[in-house]
Structure 1
Amino acid sequence: MVTSGHAPAPDPGGAGAASPSVPADGEVPGRAGGRASGGSSASPSPGARGVATAYWTTGPGTGELRTEPLPAPGDGEALVEVLHTGVSRGSELLVHRGGVPARVADLMRAPFGVGDLRAPTPEAPVKYGYLAVGVVAEGPPDLLGRTVFCLHPHQDRFVVPAAALVPVPDGVPARRAVLAGAVETALNALWDAGPRLGDRVAVVGAGMIGCSVAALLRSFPLGRLQVLEPDPARAAVAASLGVDVVAPADAADGCDLVLHCSATGAGLSRGLELLGDEGELVELSWYGDREVSVALGADFHARRLVVRASQVGAVAASRRARRTTRERLALALELLRDDALDALVPVSVPLAELPAALVSLAAGELDAPCLVVDHPLADPEDRPA
């Protein structure tokens, strides 16, 4: 059953997304390579010691819950009982439909993902996702009982190196904490973009990433901030953050900076039109294997515009010498103290319904900036009013 404070609306075009970062320096702890067996198909029966239930993509547009053995935590490891996971809509739907380009399949893997993103099959499935919040049940004393965030796929319990866990600050509800990956992506993009005092800024697209960017920009001393969104339901979510939301055709031009998050060619083209001469567009979208057509012979060339990518897999160059990925993620969690961000997590489904929910998301029958997956230990009261 879908639980929501808002009526679902169709998704006109999908949202942009980025591959997650790694919370500790160096090699990804526990990162799996090659193909995976994926365990056995089963209805979820979480809670049994030594067994976990996880969502696996088994082919284009298909997936299922499977049980798998769960090892006991060793030295320096922790067992996490999951409360909520979040669906990072743009990237997870690309994986769901089999739209990951072969050239970047390895680059775009999640830290604890399993399998070959290019070709999931029932015999060689893919476990993907990176927005998990849970409670440490076993592990180092300083983490026992703590609510933590981890870049882990949809699984009711898991064992990872303790260094891969970042504590959720007091005052941040576990449900809202699944947005840490989105806010980290937005934070990194603003480090890339470097908005300045008095800048005229536009954010194109009000999905999970676009709204996260807009929420952070509210505190900047900008000359103007507009969010462009054609879909009324998404526009309403962005407006609830207290920012100016306009239809793309009504946006003001002469921007110093545009942050593009719509993952559409139309949004990218409109973003270029809005820039003033020698302005910069920062691209946060991941298009996967979709080709996008943009008229580079128009504004881009004649007005010396700049287009640059921002991708959360590495700390922005402007901060890379002074910030680790773990520090960046910890800051993103601190930024989630903002109660307004509850508007991005209005819809939830139980873990048992995740396979059907992803099909509905892909078909445009279910819409939410971030679909929250409630695991068996989730508190039913931990929901926005």
Structure 2
Amino acid sequence: MAWQYWTTAPGEGTWRETADPSPGADQLLVRTLVTGVSKGTETLVHRGLVPGQVAQLMRSPHQLGEFPFPVSYGYLNVGVVQSGPADWRDRRVFGLFPHHTHYTADPAELHPIPDDVPTERAVLAGPVETAVNILWQVPPAFADRVAVIGGGMIGLSVALLASRMPLQRLQLLEPNPARRELARSLGLDACDPAAARTDNDITIHTSASASGLSRGLEITGDDGCLIEASWYGTDSPQVPLGADFHARRLSIIASQVGQVAAGKRNRRTTGERMATALAALRDSRFDALLTGRSPRQQLPEVMDGLAGNTELAASTVCHVIDFRPQSDEPERTVSPCTH
């Protein structure tokens, strides 16, 4: 039997035993190695706070069930192919799949992980793909001044990628002192938003807060651009378009990972974008974004901690859920039941 994690009521999650996955012709059977918890969206799901009017937008690609409950949700999954076409067997893959011990997939739904990218780091392929798309939205030019607002999983991913570009200046704005210290340990220039430098060519906003958006417009230089990468759900943040917004000819451009950024859409597929993200994860600095790990049996307790006012919630960027057997537990291989 295999296992699937389901959210069944507000603040309640459980593992359900299910029949062994049954791959169809040319499908792959994948055994999960690790998953990552995307704290923002997954805690909303855990608490049952997904608004009905945006439920379809919040669906994960391979979600089971419907919001609010019961639902099996998640989209940062690293596994190993157990059976399928010979050229896929035993390969590590990333897929946008929930917290399941085993699952079946079409080859087009999976992305091979480079041999030199560690298994746990590969769960960050999702946020790094989002970061790649953000930087493709309005690509920074040589010697640009760039600010990134928000030191969460997306903001840090954007800043780490942007730090490899020939910029004149790159600042990460983050009000949390511990997050600023984390960013500085990675070689990033991190500061409190009140201390940020102004006259930026591009400002990238990821904090999903009205205050962050307002500060972003303040520090964007004349004729500059603010890329809005936050998702607000049903909130309607107040956008300060008075004062000198028009006089300074500022632009606000939305970035959303559902499609390849407009400037690249005719020349890059989503598969090529994901391959770019996975290659970028050769950078060992991304390991610092993995701020905790737990065996998969503890996922219900982890979700409680991340959803509450806890030290775990405050310190987490990305929490890894480990599906690999513990030292006293034999590794289990599912025998595929083919059609």
Match 1:339 to one of 269, 284, 289: 284
Q: List gaps (5 residues or longer) in structure 2.
A: 329-339
Residue 68 of structure 1 and its aligned partner are, at CA, apart by 2.0
Counting only pairs closer than 5 Å after superposition, residues 272-287 of structure 1 correspond to structure 2 as 272-287=217-232
The total of aligned residue pairs comes to 325
Residue 100 to residue 297, structure 1, CA distance change in 2 (3 Å): farther
Q: Counterpart of 2:18?
A: 68
CA distance in 1, matches of 2:250, 2:19: 53
Residue 171 of structure 1 and its aligned partner are, at CA, apart by 0.7
Q: Kindly indicate whether the alpha-carbon contact (under 8 Å) linking 2:37 and 2:321 is maintained by their aligned counterparts in 1.
A: yes
Residue 267 of structure 1 and its aligned partner are, at CA, apart by 1.0
Counting only pairs closer than 5 Å after superposition, residues 343-354 of structure 1 correspond to structure 2 as 343-354=288-299
Counting only pairs closer than 5 Å after superposition, residues 301-380 of structure 1 correspond to structure 2 as 301-365=246-310, 366=312, 367-377=315-325
Letter aligned with residue 137 of structure 2: D
CA distance in 1, matches of 2:154, 2:81: 28
CA distance in 2, matches of 1:348, 1:301: 47
1:28-69 alpha-carbon deviations (Å, 9 max, x no partner): xxxxxxxxxxxxxxxxxxxxxxx2212212233332222222
1:314-360 alpha-carbon deviations (Å, 9 max, x no partner): 11111111111111111110110001110001311111111111111
1:106 aligns with 2:95: no
Q: Counterpart of 1:85?
A: 35
SS at match of 2:78: strand
Counting only pairs closer than 5 Å after superposition, residues 260-275 of structure 1 correspond to structure 2 as 260-275=205-220
Match 1:160 to one of 105, 109, 112: 105
Q: Counterpart of 2:334?
A: none
1:262-315 alpha-carbon deviations (Å, 9 max, x no partner): 111111111111111221111111122333233222343442221121111111
Residue 210 of structure 1 and its aligned partner are, at CA, apart by 0.4
Residue 362 of structure 1 and its aligned partner are, at CA, apart by 1.4
Counting only pairs closer than 5 Å after superposition, residues 32-71 of structure 1 correspond to structure 2 as 51-71=1-21
- More displaced stretch, 181-190 vs 94-103: 94-103
1:73-130 alpha-carbon deviations (Å, 9 max, x no partner): 221111111110001122222322333343332233211112223xx23xxx111111
Q: Kindly indicate whether the alpha-carbon contact (under 8 Å) linking 1:99 and 1:288 is maintained by their aligned counterparts in 2.
A: no
**Relative contact order higher in (CA < 8 Å, ≥ 6 apart):** 1
CA distance in 2, matches of 1:379, 1:230: 40
- More displaced stretch, 327-336 vs 286-295: 286-295
Counting only pairs closer than 5 Å after superposition, residues 20-31 of structure 1 correspond to structure 2 as none
Counting only pairs closer than 5 Å after superposition, residues 230-249 of structure 1 correspond to structure 2 as 230-249=175-194
Q: Counterpart of 2:332?
A: none
Residue 379 to residue 310, structure 1, CA distance change in 2 (3 Å): farther
Q: How large is the RMSD of aligned CA atoms in angstroms?
A: 1.7
TM-score normalised by structure 1 residue count: 0.81
1:136 aligns with 2:84: no
% identical aligned pairs: 53
Letter aligned with residue 108 of structure 2: A
**Structure in which a larger fraction of residues adopt helix:** 2
Q: Counterpart of 1:116?
A: 66
1:225 aligns with 2:170: yes
Q: Counterpart of 1:29?
A: none
Residue 378 of structure 1 and its aligned partner are, at CA, apart by 7.6
Q: Counterpart of 1:208?
A: 153
Residue 52 to residue 299, structure 1, CA distance change in 2 (3 Å): farther
Residue 127 to residue 298, structure 1, CA distance change in 2 (3 Å): farther
Letter aligned with residue 371 of structure 1: H
Residue 248 to residue 329, structure 1, CA distance change in 2 (3 Å): same
- More displaced stretch, 103-112 vs 321-330: 103-112
Q: List gaps (5 residues or longer) in structure 1.
A: 1-50, 381-385
Q: Kindly indicate whether the alpha-carbon contact (under 8 Å) linking 2:54 and 2:233 is maintained by their aligned counterparts in 1.
A: no
SS at match of 1:313: coil
CA distance in 2, matches of 1:227, 1:261: 11
CA distance in 1, matches of 2:90, 2:192: 46
Q: Kindly indicate whether the alpha-carbon contact (under 8 Å) linking 2:21 and 2:29 is maintained by their aligned counterparts in 1.
A: no
1:151-178 alpha-carbon deviations (Å, 9 max, x no partner): 1011111111122111100110000000
CA distance in 2, matches of 1:112, 1:265: 31
CA distance in 1, matches of 2:230, 2:326: 31
CA distance in 1, matches of 2:277, 2:252: 25
